[in-house]
Amino acid sequence: MGCASEIAQEALRGNFRCACGDLYEVTYPGWSGAGHTRPNPSALRWLWRERRMSGEAADRSGVWRFREMLPILKDERSIVSLGEGNTPLFELPRSADRLGMTLLRAKHQGMNPTGSFKDAGMTAALSVAKERRFAWVACASTGNTSASMAAYAARAGMRSLVLLPEGRIAWGKLAQAMDYGALVLQLKTDFDGCVRVLAGVVERAPVCLLNSVNPYRIEGQKTPALEIAEQMEWEVPDHLIVPGGNLANSSALGKGFLEMKRLGLTARVPRISVIQAEGANPLVRAMRETGGERLEPVEAQTRASAIRIGNPASWRKAVQVIRETGGFVEQVSEAEIAVAKAEIGAEGIGCEPASAVTLAGLKKLRQQGKMTAEESVVLLLTGHTLKDSDYTIQFHRGDLLTEPESAPVAAELGTLCRNTVEMEARVDDVLRELERAGR
C-alpha cells in the first residue's frame, strides 16, 4: 500500500508488512486486462446463487460460494468453514421513520457462526494458514477476532494463541475463546499494546498472525459487499455506514465494492462512511487535521470495547476507500451509542455496542444535511447483541451512563430503558403490571 511494490504470494513475510513498513493488499493479475481469465459477470451471478442449493459446505458458505473473487487457495480441500456468511439484510422501519428516510437497512454480520463479522475474514485467512501447514495461529484482539480465530482453529485441529487487554473485553467473547480451546493470555495493557507484543512473538515463533494486517482476512471480509449487492438484485445502496476500529472492515468492504464494479458485476459503488466513538477517534482526527495524510495514535477510551483502538493498523486503506467512494467520517458520544443500540434492539434485531455507532452516526449525517431522505442506506452491524449482555443490562437498569452523559438524551432514555420488575409470585400483581404497561 505504501511503496506500490508487488510480490508473489510465497514471498509474504510473517508480519505481513512490506520492507517500507506498510501493509499488503491482494491483487489478481488476471483481472486487470480483458483476457480470458477475467470472470464473466452474468455467469458468476448465476453460479453463486446456484451454489446455495449445493450439498457441499464450501458451496453454501457465504464466503466460499464467491470463491472466484478470492482465489487465494491452491486446493479447495484446505477450506475450513463453519457455514459463515449468508447473513440477513433487515429493514429498520422505525428508525427510518424517525429519521424521515424512505429506506434504511441493516446487514447483520453478527448473525455469523461466532456472532461477529470476523468469521468471513477468518475462514479465508485460517484456510490459508492451514494450507501452509502452520500448527499455531495467533491474534491480539478486543474480543471478536479471538473468538472467531479460536473457533476456526479448533475446527481445523490447529492451536490458537490469543492476546487480550486485561479486563477490557466483553465476557461473552472471552468465554468463547476459552470454550474453543485457545491459549488465552490477558496482558496488562490495551489492545494497541497487545498488537505490539504479538509483533515481537511472530518474529520469534512459528505462528501464523491472524490479525487483519493478514491480507487474506480482508479477502474474506469483502464478501458481505457481494452479498449486499446480491440481496439487492445487483444494485448497490447509495450509502454504506461502517464502525471504525482497526479499520480493516471499512477497507475490506470498499475493496469488495470497488472490485465488483471493476469486473462489471455492479454499475457503481456506495459511499462508504466510517463512524468512530468519540473516545477512540484517531481516524476522525486524521481526516480533520491532516486530510488523511497522517494519523496520530490516541489513548482510546470507550464502553464499546470492540472499537477501543487508538492506533489502527489499516488506516491508510480506509482513507483510500473513503476518498474513492466519497464517504464521510464522523464520531459519536457514549450516550449516542447507547441510545442507538437500544433503538436497534427495539427493532427486534439487536447488536453489540460497537455496531450501534452506525445508526448514531447516520443520525448525525442526516442532521448535517449530508444525505437526502430518498438515499438508500445500509448499516453494517458487526456483532450480535449477546456478545456484551453486561452493557445492555446496565443500560436498561440506568447504570451505564453518568448523569452528564445522560442529560442530552434524557427523552430517548425515558422511552427506551426497560428495567425488569421484581415482585411476588401472584396473578393479581402480574395483571396489574400488564395493565400499567398497556396504558
The smaller minimum CB distance to ligand F0G, of residues 64 and 391, is found at 391
The reply on whether position 382 binds ligand F0G by CB under 6 A is yes
Determine which residue in the list 165, 244, 279, 292 makes contact with ligand F0G, applying CB under 6 A: 244
DSSP SS3 for 115: coil
CB of 178 to ligand F0G, least distance (A): 15
Stretch that binds ligand F0G, among 80-88, 238-246, 398-406, 416-424 (CB under 6 A): 238-246
The reply on whether position 124 binds ligand F0G by CB under 6 A is no
Stretch that binds ligand F0G, among 84-92, 137-145, 151-159, 279-287 (CB under 6 A): 137-145
Stretch that binds ligand F0G, among 154-162, 246-254, 293-301, 431-439 (CB under 6 A): 246-254
- The residue of the chain with the least Cβ separation from ligand F0G equals 245
The smaller minimum CB distance to ligand F0G, of residues 44 and 138, is found at 138
The reply on whether position 112 binds ligand F0G by CB under 6 A is no
- In angstroms, the CA 244 to CA 325 distance is 16
The smaller minimum CB distance to ligand F0G, of residues 307 and 329, is found at 307
CB of 421 to ligand F0G, least distance (A): 31
The reply on whether position 145 binds ligand F0G by CB under 6 A is yes
Determine which residue in the list 81, 141, 160, 385 makes contact with ligand F0G, applying CB under 6 A: 141
CB of 171 to ligand F0G, least distance (A): 14
**Considering only residues 164-223, where is the footprint of ligand F0G by CB under 6 A?**
212
Cα distances from 78 to residues 124, 126, 414, in angstroms, run 10, 9, 52
- Partners of 241 in beta bridges: 273, 379
CB of 233 to ligand F0G, least distance (A): 28
Stretch that binds ligand F0G, among 130-138, 224-232, 350-358, 402-410 (CB under 6 A): 350-358
DSSP code at position 373: T
- Cβ-proximal residues to 155 (8 Å cutoff; 6+ apart), any chain: 80, 82
- In angstroms, the CA 358 to CA 200 distance is 34
Contacts with ligand F0G by CB under 6 A: the residue count is 22
Stretch that binds ligand F0G, among 39-47, 77-85, 141-149, 363-371 (CB under 6 A): 141-149
The reply on whether position 352 binds ligand F0G by CB under 6 A is yes
Amino acid code (one letter) for 289: E
The smaller minimum CB distance to ligand F0G, of residues 143 and 224, is found at 143
DSSP letter string over 226-294?
A: HHHHHHTTT---SEEEEE-SSSHHHHHHHHHHHHHHHTTSSS---EEEEEEEGGG-HHHHHHHHHTTS-
Which one, of 316, 341, 306, lies nearest residue 412 by Cα? 341
- Cβ-proximal residues to 208 (8 Å cutoff; 6+ apart), any chain: 14, 129, 132, 134, 136, 137, 138, 214
Stretch that binds ligand F0G, among 11-19, 43-51, 242-250, 369-377 (CB under 6 A): 242-250
**Considering only residues 293-312, where is the footprint of ligand F0G by CB under 6 A?**
306-307
The reply on whether position 119 binds ligand F0G by CB under 6 A is no
Stretch that binds ligand F0G, among 20-28, 30-38, 88-96, 136-144 (CB under 6 A): 136-144
CB of 116 to ligand F0G, least distance (A): 5
The reply on whether position 383 binds ligand F0G by CB under 6 A is yes
Report yes or no: 249 and 117 within 8 Å, Cβ to Cβ. Answer: yes
Largest Cα separation within the chain, whole Å, is 76
The sign of the torsion formed by the CA atoms of 187, 192, 198, 199 equals: negative
Task: Quote the cell numbers at residue 216.
Answer: 487474506
Cα distances from 426 to residues 185, 421, 429, in angstroms, run 48, 13, 5
Task: Quote the cell numbers at residue 338.
Answer: 447507547
- In angstroms, the CA 387 to CA 116 distance is 9
Q: Is 192 left (phi over 0), alpha (psi -120 to 50) or beta?
A: alpha
Determine which residue in the list 331, 355, 358, 385 makes contact with ligand F0G, applying CB under 6 A: 355
Spacing of C-alpha 73 from chain mean position: 23
The reply on whether position 248 binds ligand F0G by CB under 6 A is yes
The smaller minimum CB distance to ligand F0G, of residues 176 and 249, is found at 249
**Binding residues vs ligand F0G (CB under 6 A):** 116, 118, 141-145, 212, 243-249, 306-307, 352, 354-355, 382-383
